[in-house]
Structure 1
Amino acid sequence: MKQIVISLLANAGGVGKTTLSVHLAYEMSRRGFSVAMIDLDPQRSLDVFCGLAPAEPSKTLVEVLSKDFKGNWSLAPVWKDFNVNVEVCQGHPLLAEIANELVIRKRGEYALSDRLKSFPLPHNLIILDCPATLGMLNVNALAASTHILVPVQLEMKAISGSAELVEWCISTAEELHLDPRPPILGFVPSMYDESVAMHRQYLEQLPEIAKQLHLKLYPKVRNSNEFKNASAHGLPLQVYRPKHPACKDFKPIADDLAALIKDRKEKK
């Protein structure tokens, strides 16, 4: 696979997966990379965050994962007025039914991986925005990924769940015989509010947890109502409020992704 494919994985909802997906996509495209976001969530989170209208199933990931897919990816361009190259393969509620079908289909765990190999996308970076439950769609994401990123909400349940997610990634990759096994780039503390004592406490504990799991810990992504305001307009914060301090929170991750893309190009 010529590009980087990164899964945003978490085993809980509301931890900032889509926020991270959208803002990384914009940050990378602003650096000159082409980006495709694939929405594996039946709740169509990316539609909302990117200002896209719901699409017919034939124009979404439902078609891509169907048995009869012929390679005609339906990709919706977003933020065209801001000189970026970002496209979205939209989600659909029927993905929940497709997930059940994949359980009994031959190579069902590899459906998305097979599509990306047989009908490759031209983008430098593919971001997989995954559901909050570790079902068949997330298994597909894992099998298709070159790397994984784990957003972590600063709550005890979310932190303990993230450690369990790491174990799930390792065991599932072994069961799928993935070679190489997609590495976890790191934890991303998300939705951080400095005024909340619990957030400050857990942020202090995360470095030791990450160290025990042999994972990188990225700087925090702060919480702000402006993220919600931006998504209500279908825009990333970098466009909606370009001088907002949270716009810089995505730079360290984007730096690593840019280095990975450059390294992959050089090896090719």
Structure 2
Amino acid sequence: MQLRLAILANAGGVGKSTLSVHLAYEVSGQGFKVALLDLDPQRSLDVFCGLEGADVTETMAHVLSKDFKGNWKLVPVWDNSGVEVCQGHPTVAEIANDLVIRKRGEYTLADRLKKYPLPHDLIIIDCPATIGMLTINALAAATHVLVPIQLEMKAIAGSAELVEWCVTSASELQLEPRPPILGFVPSMYDSKIAMHRQYLDQLPDIAAQLEIKLYPAVRSSNEFKNASAYGIPIQKWRQLHPAAKDFTKIASDVVKLIKHK
């Protein structure tokens, strides 16, 4: 049984795609096959993976359409790394509107993965920046959830709301088992910014109150931007850069879950 990890946040620019890409690369480096599914109409994964825009019939928009018959289109990235991507498309937003009125619309992605399963050990679902039908689809399809948190008041305050949304939505969708939140991931941390240090110090108490694991922070670094300019993860761009190790603990837990399953 594969692990399906939904990367959720209730705001944009919090590092969902950065986390998705670098976690995929880290896990694949340990010999596992990873699929990245891009549910974000902004198509951030195209940039991070060095991909050109794809025809709509080769994207997640087609996977969620009524015409899908199992012909997944996944593109291998990073020189046979073991990572493949099903790209996003702007029309995914239009598909989301159709899912609202479609029978079992909330379960479309879960149904696709059940009827037309992918052979990968890990599926990472990169979600949109807003909570809506696409995010509900990700939750319904996921076995676990991972939440990146930007070190700003609004993002931290919204973390409790997001946890409550996950619990309530899983209950309403009657998901069994309910996908647990694997952890919070502080993102874009800059130790030179006093506000970042202050909020990072507060997060352990918040995570403990919510009974959510808190992972080490992913630092802010221009090397992430430099790497994405070439469509590769920082581990390939600058292997010895300290930020290349920021995903090690999360990847270790994910690998343990894959092996357990």
Task: Calculate the TM-score normalised by the size of structure 2.
Answer: 0.99
- Residues of 2 paired with 1:258 and 1:23: CA distance? 14
Q: Which residue in the other structure is 2:143 paired with?
A: 146
1:77 matched to 2:76? The reply is yes
Task: Report the residue type matching 1:128 in the other structure.
Answer: I
Q: Which residue in the other structure is 1:8 paired with?
A: 7
- Residues of 2 paired with 1:45 and 1:162: CA distance? 22
1:44-193 equivalences under 5 Å are 44-80=43-79, 83-193=80-190
- Residues of 1 paired with 2:87 and 2:159: CA distance? 26
- Residues of 1 paired with 2:210 and 2:62: CA distance? 37
Task: Report the residue type matching 1:188 in the other structure.
Answer: V
1:205 deviates by 0.2
The alignment's C-alpha RMSD in Å is: 0.5
Task: Report the residue type matching 1:225 in the other structure.
Answer: N
- Residues of 2 paired with 1:66 and 1:235: CA distance? 30
- Residues of 2 paired with 1:16 and 1:68: CA distance? 32
Q: Which residue in the other structure is 2:239 paired with?
A: 242
Query: How many residues align structurally?
Result: 261
- Residues of 1 paired with 2:188 and 2:112: CA distance? 34
Residue 126 of structure 1 aligns to a residue in which SS?
strand
Residue 12 of structure 1 aligns to a residue in which SS?
coil
Q: Which residue in the other structure is 2:35 paired with?
A: 36
Q: Which residue in the other structure is 1:222 paired with?
A: 219
- Residues of 2 paired with 1:249 and 1:47: CA distance? 22
* Moved >2 Å (runs of 4+): none
Residue 149 of structure 2 aligns to a residue in which SS?
strand
% identical aligned pairs: 71
Flag structure 1 segments of 5+ consecutive residues without an equivalent. none
Deviations 1:163-192 (A, max 9, x none): 110000000000100000000001000100
Deviations 1:102-140 (A, max 9, x none): 000000000000000000000000000000100000000
Task: Report the residue type matching 1:146 in the other structure.
Answer: T
Task: Report the residue type matching 2:117 in the other structure.
Answer: P
Residue 74 of structure 1 aligns to a residue in which SS?
coil
1:162 deviates by 1.3
Structure 1 counterpart of 2:251, from 251, 254, 259: 254
Task: Calculate the TM-score normalised by the size of structure 1.
Answer: 0.97
Q: Which residue in the other structure is 2:22 paired with?
A: 23
